[in-house]
Structure 1
Amino acid sequence: MIEEWINTFVGFVWGKPMLVLLVGGGIFFTLYGKFTPFRYIKHSLQLLTGQFDDNSGSGDLSHRKALAAALSGTLGLGNIAGVALALSAGGPGAIFWMWLTALLGVSTKFYTCTLGVMYRQKDSRGQVHGGPMYTVQEGLGHNFKWLAILFAISGLMGFVPSFQINQLSAVIQTQLFPDVSWLESQTFSWALGIVLAVFVGCVIWGGLKRVADVASALVPFMAGSYFVMAVLALLLNADKVPVVFASIFQSAFAPEAALGGVLSVIIIGVSRGAFSNEAGIGTEVMAHSAAKTDEAVREGLVASLGPIIDTLIICSCTALVILVTGVLEQSEGMQGVSLTMAAFKAAFGSAGTWLLAAQVLILSFTTVFTFWYYGYKCFVYLFGEKAGEYYKYLYLVLVVLGAVLSVDVVFLFLIGTYGLMAIPTMVSGILLAPKVNQEVKRYFGEEKHRLSADTATQQTD
């Protein structure tokens, strides 16, 4: 009975209303903003070099570290296991809709993250707090406070690390050491959970700056190495790449897909795309709101690079490797991270399994670190800054339980609560979009004036 209710709940949250909200909202942001993040993508990349960093600005992180922290929450199981699940459920056509969601997500992230910086607040200790709950509270006012509370409560449940830790445990037990029976014992699970909790605690006790330091060190390297692995796998199967691309586009609109419900394929692609880059969900807004800048547009532009990196590049790598190696048709009943591992094993042999396992372990850890920060922000919003320290202990307990328990129904419920966060994020983003456009006009007007002044000075010299 409970499982049936939860399935209905998740189906509703990630059904047609969410499709309209995320896709329709993305189209609105793209057109209303006249493709702003696309037109200024060169400036977005320049911001990552540090030449526009403002050491006197509010916040804690440079533009590069803020992006690394945000990406550490998206790069991981969503890109490696989530794409495989999308292929299993919706076929190659689901990837097309993931791509579309990512392109629209560029504008969505620009608007929502710009607002995150515009409406962030400082507590009594001078610490910056930002996220959709503050955007709603400060931008929309008291009448919309319930939306802010909805985001914080949904986030508090959606950021439970149990899924990531459970998958980490599964990778160690079933993928790396499938023939070692004692690894499946409860004693080992408890021991593993405690070890993982100690490791996580060493990072989160250093606060956001330590999380960002770890993320900025690990995420670019691991994402880069994963990209190299995928490219090599594609080169080994280069003759199949054109056929795979054709199947993605054909399956997205194929008559047989329509007979089976082309809408379901779209929903699968959109939902997995949202899990991958989190555009419109609002999680990344909390990371980007910590950027050390007083120019909200700058951080919005940096944030807009996220969907390009994690969905258009990393997710595409996963999908293409699975499709060119043919494991999708050959591995009946296999899905998620197991399917992706089977693909890399087909490309590189047993070495592929170990290499991918290393990717999963490290990227999943960085996701767990970032999820602590997101959950902490929601906890502080609901219970106050003084209660925030208690969340660290609660989070470590959840890490241990994630290694020990296997509660699929709970995980399904978490997916539903995760989706609920999109409602406050998208509603506030759409209603406050004119404020962002005003800020864009001011910022680029001043930038144009500054560049003209710099040019005049150089000519004079």
Structure 2
Amino acid sequence: MEFLNQLLKDFSALAWSFPFMILFIGGGLYLLIRSRFLPFRYLGHAISVLRGKYDDPNDPGQISHFQALTTALSATVGMGNIAGVAVAISIGGPGAVFWMWISAVVGMSTKFFTSTLAILYRGKDSAGEIQGGPMYFITEGLGKTWKPLAICFSICGLIGALPVFNVNQLTQALNDILLIPNGFEVSFTSNLCIGLVLISVTAIVILGGIKRIGNVASRLVPSMVVLYFVLVIIILVAHNDVLLHYLELIITDAFAANYYQKDDTIFGGVLGALILHGVKRGAFSNEAGIGTAPMAHGAAKTDEPVREGLVAMLGPAIDTLIVCTLTALAILVTGVWETTSDNGVSLTASAFGSVMPSFGKYALLICIAVFSMSSLFSYSYYGTKCMSFLFGADKKHYYNYFYILSILIGATTSLSMMINLIDGVFAMMAVPTMTATIILAPKVIKVSRIYFQKLKNNN
């Protein structure tokens, strides 16, 4: 197990090397500048589209704009925001949060381009069903000669879509918040039992396909975001005297890296390591540039690619700039990041428990359970789309069985192994996604100009 842990650590470090950072962050900045900051200029219109103002039930696709966004968000608003932020702070300190913000700002542009392409170059699977996602916009937009890039994305997607991190952290939350305080002995057997319960619930939803996933996600995610928001506001009000101090510390420490815990250096120093750490956690939080969200947005009912791109770009704003920031501030203002050795979801739970000792941890557990379960539902959809592209639509259901079994792995292994596995595979997914997006960027700019000119004329 120690050998496997080291192997995954080395794999993650290799995947997130300097050339990849140039492609991932540099490519995102290129898209942002190339579009003249388009995502930020049309935020109001994006919200109108999300609210259903332009919905047409006769448009091609399977789910509404709102369901597409909540399906994508149900995969990202979850453990990346609760456990991922805690990991970012416990290793990188407050400054890591700033670099998560930067990744989100850049990610909004990336999401706009990738999700616009997901609609612009929708393809059909072997069953004749309309599909979207990086594998389809690579083959439809760049041509069949680029198919190896699409195959590479799909193979990595089979692993990247596995729910191992979410399950790992949900199991840890159940152990730390529910079982241990009530005198239950935590062991491999108890974790296995948690895994079996999660398998049962997940199977009921994911075997129903994207429409059932979309329906469940559109009901669960908004209500849990509201509950989580209220809980964090209670914490921030209780510690309002230090709130401004920690907001300032997030910015100043981003360039000082005084709290970075590891002894590794990248790009010439500790600051480089902190930037990389923040960007990795940001990528895990909002998945901009990874290529997962375009698979959900590619199923939206619309014939206007730009509209779906605008809806998709709201994801990183909701996910990282709002939800992640709330989590980070809750951890920082309560001081648990300095007074405890907890990591991951346990650190967030400590913050909630310090302000609301009677119910804080249990309310957080409800949010964690719903966020984690909704993530399980969405990721299974991503995996089946990759399976369908590689082996045919009639084989995609086999992935669900593999996916369900992987829940047991997540429930019974360590946090570090799961983080390194997902970090490494996400990087491998981002390479074909970002490469194709940068090449096809002029096409997105062209259709955007046409769309906004038409919008202007109609108004």
| TM-score interval, smaller chain | over 0.9
Q: Of the two, which has the highest radius of gyration? A: 1
CA distance in 2, matches of 1:401, 1:418: 18
Change (3 A) 1:341 1:274: same
Change (3 A) 1:140 1:6: same
Residues 199-246 of structure 1 show CA distances to partners (whole Å, capped at 9, x for unaligned) of 111111211011011100010010111111111211111110111011
Whether 2:374 is the aligned partner of 1:372: answer: no
Whether 2:43 is the aligned partner of 1:41: answer: yes
Change (3 A) 1:111 1:226: same
**Is residue 125–residue 388 contact of structure 2 (8 Å, CA) maintained in 1?**
no
Structure 2 counterpart of 1:365, one-letter code: M
**Is residue 116–residue 134 contact of structure 1 (8 Å, CA) maintained in 2?**
yes
Change (3 A) 1:266 1:124: closer
1:164 aligns with 166
Structure 1 gaps of 5+ residues are 452-461
Shift of 1:388: 1.1
Whether 2:291 is the aligned partner of 1:282: answer: yes
Structure 2 counterpart of 1:301, one-letter code: L
CA distance in 1, matches of 2:222, 2:422: 28
**Is residue 19–residue 270 contact of structure 1 (8 Å, CA) maintained in 2?**
no
Whether 2:400 is the aligned partner of 1:392: answer: yes
Shift of 1:108: 0.6
Residues 355-414 of structure 1 show CA distances to partners (whole Å, capped at 9, x for unaligned) of 111111110000000010001111111111111122222222222443345585465233
Whether 2:331 is the aligned partner of 1:322: answer: yes
Q: Within 5 Å, which residues of 2 pair with 1:233-312?
A: 233-254=235-256, 261-312=270-321
1:439 aligns with 447
Structure 1 counterpart of 2:246, one-letter code: V
Name the SS of the counterpart of 1:416 in structure 2: helix
CA distance in 1, matches of 2:345, 2:20: 26
Structure 1 counterpart of 2:447, one-letter code: E
Residues 63-93 of structure 1 show CA distances to partners (whole Å, capped at 9, x for unaligned) of 1110000000001110001011111111111
Structure 2 counterpart of 1:450, one-letter code: N
Shift of 1:196: 1.7
Name the SS of the counterpart of 1:279 in structure 2: coil
Structure 2 gaps of 5+ residues are none
1:354 aligns with 362
Normalised TM-score (structure 2): 0.94
Which of 32, 54, 68 is 2:34 aligned to? 32
Q: For structure 1, which segment, 371-380 or 195-204, has the greater mean C-alpha deviation from structure 2 after superposition?
A: 195-204
Change (3 A) 1:260 1:440: closer
CA distance in 1, matches of 2:127, 2:174: 41
Shift of 1:2: 4.6
CA distance in 2, matches of 1:436, 1:360: 37
Shift of 1:431: 0.4
1:196 aligns with 198
Residues 16-53 of structure 1 show CA distances to partners (whole Å, capped at 9, x for unaligned) of 23322222112111110011111111100001111100
Structure 2 counterpart of 1:138, one-letter code: E
Whether 2:388 is the aligned partner of 1:417: answer: no
Q: Within 5 Å, which residues of 2 pair with 1:54-93?
A: 54-93=56-95
Structure 2 counterpart of 1:392, one-letter code: N
Name the SS of the counterpart of 1:54 in structure 2: coil
**Is residue 109–residue 300 contact of structure 1 (8 Å, CA) maintained in 2?**
yes
Change (3 A) 1:393 1:386: same
CA distance in 2, matches of 1:179, 1:293: 50
Change (3 A) 1:125 1:382: closer
Residues 156-196 of structure 1 show CA distances to partners (whole Å, capped at 9, x for unaligned) of 01111222223222222232121456552444444332322
**Is residue 169–residue 403 contact of structure 1 (8 Å, CA) maintained in 2?**
yes
Shift of 1:418: 1.9
Shift of 1:9: 1.7
Shift of 1:443: 1.0
Whether 2:207 is the aligned partner of 1:209: answer: no
Change (3 A) 1:281 1:449: same
Change (3 A) 1:191 1:250: closer
1:313 aligns with 322
CA distance in 2, matches of 1:450, 1:392: 45
Normalised TM-score (structure 1): 0.93
2:435 aligns with 427
Shift of 1:260: 5.5
Residues 276-312 of structure 1 show CA distances to partners (whole Å, capped at 9, x for unaligned) of 0000111001000000001000000000000100000
Q: For structure 1, which segment, 402-411 or 370-379, has the greater mean C-alpha deviation from structure 2 after superposition?
A: 402-411
Q: Within 5 Å, which residues of 2 pair with 1:177-192?
A: 177-179=179-181, 184-192=186-194
CA distance in 2, matches of 1:21, 1:410: 24
**Is residue 126–residue 392 contact of structure 2 (8 Å, CA) maintained in 1?**
no
CA distance in 2, matches of 1:320, 1:53: 37
**Is residue 157–residue 418 contact of structure 1 (8 Å, CA) maintained in 2?**
no
**Is residue 206–residue 212 contact of structure 2 (8 Å, CA) maintained in 1?**
yes
CA distance in 2, matches of 1:57, 1:126: 16
Aligned length: 450
**Is residue 16–residue 267 contact of structure 1 (8 Å, CA) maintained in 2?**
no
Name the SS of the counterpart of 2:76 in structure 1: coil
Between the aligned residues of both structures, percent identity stands at 45
Which of 128, 145, 148 is 1:146 aligned to? 148
Change (3 A) 1:244 1:405: closer
CA distance in 1, matches of 2:7, 2:197: 35
Structure 1 counterpart of 2:440, one-letter code: L
